[in-house]
Amino acid sequence: MCGFCSMLGGQRHWSDAGTNSDQPRAYDNSRAQRLERLQRIKQLNFVITTLGFHVSDWANKQFIVKSHSGRTEIVDNLPHLWSTIESISLNKVDPLDIGFIKKIEALQTPNNIN
């Protein structure tokens, strides 16, 4: 499916509904939700940079995943993002793997992800 056609279909993933778990809300594309999405993307990039990938927003609905070699794919949500990274890199990605976590922790400074 082409990129434009993929914009027309699909539903929002629960992770796009907002970050306040005490007050679930429908996705209304408000400024606050766009800012939350940009913050999630910033945090995602901090994590997946260690894998040689970069994510950006596309139309406030999908993600553009780009590998260090330049391969690019459009994905709908976070679960698709992880499976796409695995398919491009040909490696199993376990975000809870202790080695992976230690790599990320080694990069952390107080200003890196906030």
- How confident is the model at residue 1, as a pLDDT? 45
Of 43, 87, 45, the C-alpha closest to 64 is: 45
Looking at residue 62, its amino acid is Q
Average pLDDT over residues 2-30: 55
For the stretch 67-106, pLDDT in tens is 999 999 999 988 899 899 999 988 888 888 899 889 888 8
Measured in degrees and rounded to the nearest 5, phi and psi for residue 45 equal -65, -35
Whether the Cβ atoms of residue 54 and residue 46 lie closer than 8 Å to each other: no
**Residue 66, pLDDT above cutoff 90:** yes
Burial state string for 78-91 with b = 16 or more CB within 10 A and e = fewer than 16: bebbbebbeebbee
Q: Specify the higher pLDDT residue, 33 or 63.
A: 63
Q: Specify the higher pLDDT residue, 112 or 93.
A: 93
